[in-house]
Amino acid sequence: MDKVRKTFDKWAQNGKAELMETEHEKNVLKFLQKIPFDKPFTFLDVGCGNGWVVRRISNEKKCRKSIGIDKSKKMIIQARKKSSNKKEEFIHTDIESMNYKGKFDFIFSMESLYYVDSVDIALKKIFRLLKPGGQFFCGIDFYTDNKATTKWANMMKIQMHLHSKKEWKVFFKNKGFTVNTRNIKDLENRKKWKREFGTLFIIGTKPVK
């Protein structure tokens, strides 16, 4: 079993999944509230953890399907236990090997893309899974511009791809996305980096041909 999967299996059991929900909820909801979910849509959360984003999105009136995937089987077990309606589905897989025939209007990931084995393969798969005009919302706290977080990889002793904001934008552009970014800050947080840098959201849009 790889170290990333082992780490998140452990977090699913020791309460860290709920802590991640609490830590990320404010900035994620600030970001998602700006998205006009005004047409029928399908949604995929890559690295869904205990499924909290999937559950929130499934309650949007126009949501047809809200799917979460995670490489941690124990996270998926937790997510299924918390599932609140039939629009939700949770699949034990990673994005690189996900086998899914449909396409999505929106794909989301929060603090998960830098754990993948290959950023190149993951972004290629995400691009393919999006409908033309579809969007990928990628939230990242761990990036070189945000110096306070760069020590995380050494602390956790697992593979984490550390890149700058500029490098992430290039990765997205190289896969065919048009790219925008937003920094969502938590101005009342006790952590200085959350107030000054916050979460970097990279927004990749698949062009309509």
Q: Quick one: tokens of 161?
A: 């791809």
Quick one: pLDDT band at residue 156, thresholds 50, 70, 90?
Answer: confident
Q: What is the pLDDT of residues 88-145, one digit of tens each?
A: 999 999 999 999 989 999 999 999 999 999 999 999 999 999 999 999 999 999 999 9
Tell me the three-class secondary structure of the chain, residue by residue: CCHHHHHHHHHHHHCHHHHHHHHHHHHHHHHHCCCCCCCCEEEEEECCCCCHHHHHHHCCCCEEEEEEEECCHHHHHHHHHHCCCCCEEEEECCCCCCCCCCCEEEEEEECCHHHCCCHHHHHHHHHHHEEEEEEEEEEECCCCCCHHHCCHHHHHCCCCCCCCHHHHHHHHHHCCCEEEEEEECCCCCCCHHHHHCCEEEEEEECCCC
Cα→Cα distances 108→124, 150, 156, 206, Å: 15, 23, 24, 14
C-alpha 129/C-alpha 69 separation (Å) is 13
What is the model's pLDDT at position 61?
Answer: 95
Find residue 147's DSSP bridge partners: none
What is the model's pLDDT at position 103?
Answer: 97
Q: What is the mean pLDDT of residues 187-202?
A: 88
Average pLDDT of the residues of the chain: 93
What is the model's pLDDT at position 132?
Answer: 97
Q: What is the mean pLDDT of residues 157-161?
A: 89
For 94-100+109-209, give the CATH class. alpha beta
Q: Is the pLDDT of residue 1 over 80?
A: no
Q: What is the mean pLDDT of residues 37-61?
A: 96
Question: Using an 8 Å Cβ cutoff, are 106 and 43 in contact?
Answer: yes
What is the model's pLDDT at position 163?
Answer: 96
Global pTM value = 0.95
